[in-house]
Amino acid sequence: MLAISDEQSNCEVLDLLAANGDPGERMLADLQVSVPQRGPPKNSEASKPLRDKIFEFRELVTKGGTLRVLWFYDEGNVVVCANGELKKKDKTSASLIDAAIADRNLYLADKKLGRLTIKDLPKTDQEEGIS
C-alpha cells in the first residue's frame, strides 16, 4: 500500500486520517495491515469502484459523515491512495475523483520516468505485533 505525497513529503491522506481520531486510526490500520495482507475489502460499504479505475475506501465517523480515501491499483495489485475527504453526503464529489485521476496519471508518468520516491512509514502498533 502506497500513498501519494508532494515534494515536501506532505500526504493529504495521512493528514486526513490523523485529523479524524479513532475512525482515522482504524482506517490507517486497515490500510497498513489488512489491505496489504488481504487486499481491499469486498464489502461495498467499506470499498467500492467509482469511475475510471478509481476506487474509494470508506469509514463512518461518529460525528456524522464518512471518511473517504480514493485509490487506484498500480502493477502487482499495489494499492496507491491518492486523496480523500470527510464527506457528509452520500456521493463522492466529481472534483475529488477528477483530482485522483490526475494524481494517478502523474504517478504513472513519474514512475515511467523513474522519478518516484517511496518512503516507509513508521510501523503501527498492529504491525509491530505481526512477525
Q: What is the pLDDT of residues 23-32, one digit of tens each?
A: 889 899 888 8
The reply to whether 92 falls in a domain is yes
For residue 128, pLDDT over 80 is answered with no
Question: In this structure, which amino acid lies at residue 17?
Answer: L
- Residue 130 placed within a domain: no
Q: Which three cell numbers stand for residue 13?
A: 491522506
pLDDT at 84: 93
CA distance 79 to 73: 5
Instruction: Give mean pLDDT, residues 80-101.
Output: 91
Written as nine digits, the cell of 3 is 500513498
pLDDT, tens digit, 9 for 90 and up, residues 29-85: 888 888 988 889 888 888 999 999 999 999 888 677 889 999 999 998 899 999 999
Q: Is residue 123 part of a domain?
A: no
Give me the number of domains the chain comprises. 1
Asked whether residue 31 is assigned to any structural domain, the reply reads yes
Name the grid cell of 9.
513529503
Residue 128 lies in a domain: no
| pLDDT at res. 69 | 94
Q: Which helix (H) or strand (E) holds 112?
A: helix 94-112
- Whether 122 is in a domain gets the answer no
The verdict on residue 22 lying in a domain is: yes
Name the residue range of residue 56's domain.
2-117
Residue 131 placed within a domain: no
